[in-house]
């Protein structure tokens, strides 16, 4: 029979106790979270397309956490200022980051960043996604995406433009001015879609805005929809095909928002936040608020699935930016 020294037995016992203590500490940390105000860093200006849903989310999280959740806007440099602030914050769950597709576009555009866009964050989950809709003014003699592509090829310099990238042959958002007066509708759409109010007035023939705010103009016939940029049709416009269905196979571009934390967050706190976030997303009032802004609810049932999604997004936008030749030094 093998004999063990008092020293070896003491070492084994102390190791086990240390492991148990660590588990108890982590569990206690999750149970006591949050211990103080939680901040959500939004890397965009107040009042914008990201800020409004972010603030609604913060309020709902405050109700679930039973602790104040405040928004901290850190705009600038294509969301990189806020991203750096989040990455360098303590990984204790009291700093959350509203991450989006812009985060990975900026990572692809900038040659050097003071953080790793993928690996310096702890994933929690995606929360929403929003498709764009390809719209034309009724004066443009096209009824489908294929019609639009054919028209662009026939008269690329006078009617509209195409972005001929290998990635998707995506339709450019640049527009061509045509004769037409201003209208109240144009001012209304300009508020929903800044800089493109001329679409309703006929000054602009092609647009690619988010769906929110466009529905009244589509349903009234003042704008003609050709396709949705997401992989699935919109629940608000089930008769409008996706752009992939309409003639550009493989096309899928959506804007999305999610929640991440600084790298190093414990698993227990990560899962606590993940579960509380699910409670918010299941709230009917929250869902109604998001859909009113054209946001579709999206949620991964594990943080690992969100991280897989983030990796796909990082690779996709790296390809798109490389194809475009764009670069920010």
The DSSP H or E segment spanning 19 is: helix 6-32
Residue 28: what pLDDT?
54
228 preceded by cis ω (within 30°)?
no
Domain end call among 228, 244, 267: 228
My answer on whether 137 and 208 are in the same domain is yes
Q: Which residues have CB under 8 Å from 195's CB, separation 6+?
A: none
Nearest to 133 by CA among 193, 177, 78: 193
Q: Any residues with CB less than 8 A from the CB of 313 and at least 6 apart, and which?
A: 101, 104, 256
Give the number of other CB atoms < 10 A from CB of residue 75.
16
**Residue 6: inside a domain, yes or no?**
no
Evaluate whether residue 8 is within a structural domain.
Answer: no
Judge if 122 and 263 occupy the same domain.
yes
Specify whether 138 is located in the same domain as 196.
Answer: yes
Question: Is 249 a domain residue?
Answer: no
Residues 268 and 314 in one domain: yes
Task: Report the half-sphere exposure of 181 (CA within 13 A, side-chain side).
Answer: 2
**CATH code of the domain containing 295:** 3.40.190.150
Mark whether 139 and 183 lie in a shared domain: yes
Q: What's the domain count of the chain?
A: 2
pLDDT at residue 242, as a whole number: 95
| CATH code at position 158 | 3.40.190
Which residues lie across from 133 on neighbouring strands? 228
Q: Which domain holds residue 142?
A: 133-228
* Residue 160: half-sphere exposure toward Cβ, Cα within 13 Å: 30
Q: What is the pLDDT of residue 104?
A: 96
> pLDDT at position 13, please?
58
Contact 242, 228 (CB under 8 A): yes
Do residues 45 and 68 share a domain? yes
Residue 312 lies in a domain: yes
Q: Kindly state the DSSP code that residue 143 receives in the 8-state scheme.
A: -
Domain annotation covers residue 113: yes
Q: Are residues 95 and 66 in the same domain?
A: yes
Q: Which two tokens stand for residue 105?
A: 């576009």
Of 124, 108, 49, 27, whose CA–CA distance to 324 is shortest?
108
**Quick check: is 19 in a domain?**
no
Assess if residue 23 is contained within a domain: no
Q: Do 88 and 154 have their domain in common?
A: no
> What residues of the chain score a pLDDT lower than 50?
22, 24-26, 158-195
Alpha-carbon distance of 96 to 262, in angstroms, equals 7
Q: Are residues 125 and 202 in the same domain?
A: no
- Backbone φ and ψ for 98, nearest 5 degrees, come out as -80, 95
Say if 30 falls within a structural domain.
Answer: no
- Rounded alpha-carbon distances, angstroms, from residue 30 to 106, 202, 265, 314: 33, 57, 11, 30
Q: What is the pLDDT of residue 186?
A: 39
SS3 40: strand
As given in the structure block, the two tokens for residue 7 are 């020293």
User: Which residues share a beta bridge with 82?
Assistant: none
Together in a domain, 125 and 42: yes
């Amino acid at each position: 029979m093998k004999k063990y020294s008092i020293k070896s037995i003491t070492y084994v016992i102390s190791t086990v106790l240390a492991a148990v203590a660590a588990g108890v500490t982590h569990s206690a940390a999750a149970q006591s979270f949050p211990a103080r105000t939680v901040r959500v860093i939004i890397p965009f200006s107040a009042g914008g397309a990201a800020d409004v849903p972010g603030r609604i989310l913060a309020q709902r999280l405050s109700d679930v956490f039973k602790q104040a959740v405040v928004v901290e806007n850190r705009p600038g440099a294509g969301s990189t200022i806020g991203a750096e602030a989040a990455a360098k914050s303590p990984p204790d769950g009291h700093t959350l980051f509203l991450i989006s597709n812009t985060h990975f576009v900026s990572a692809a555009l900038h040659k050097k960043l003071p953080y790793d866009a993928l690996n310096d964050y702890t994933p929690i989950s995606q929360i929403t996604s929003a498709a764009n809709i390809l719209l034309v003014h009724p004066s443009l003699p096209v009824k489908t995406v294929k019609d639009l592509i054919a028209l662009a090829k026939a008269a690329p310099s006078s009617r509209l433009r195409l972005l001929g990238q290998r990635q998707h042959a995506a339709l450019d958002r640049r527009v061509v001015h045509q004769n037409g007066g201003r209208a109240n509708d144009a001012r209304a759409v300009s508020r929903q879609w800044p800089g493109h109010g001329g679409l309703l007035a006929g000054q602009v023939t092609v647009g690619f805005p988010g769906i929110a705010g466009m529905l009244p103009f589509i349903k009234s016939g003042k704008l003609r929809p050709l396709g949705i940029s997401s992989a699935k049709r919109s629940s608000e416009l089930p008769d409008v095909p996706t752009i992939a269905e309409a003639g550009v196979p493989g096309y899928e571009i959506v804007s999305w928002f999610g929640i991440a934390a600084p790298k190093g967050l414990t698993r227990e706190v990560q899962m606590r936040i993940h579960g509380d976030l699910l409670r918010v997303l299941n709230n009917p009032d929250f869902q109604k608020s998001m859909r009113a802004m054209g946001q579709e609810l999206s949620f991964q049932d594990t943080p690992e699935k969100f991280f897989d999604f983030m990796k796909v997004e990082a690779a996709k936008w790296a390809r798109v930016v490389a194809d475009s030749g764009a670069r920010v030094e």
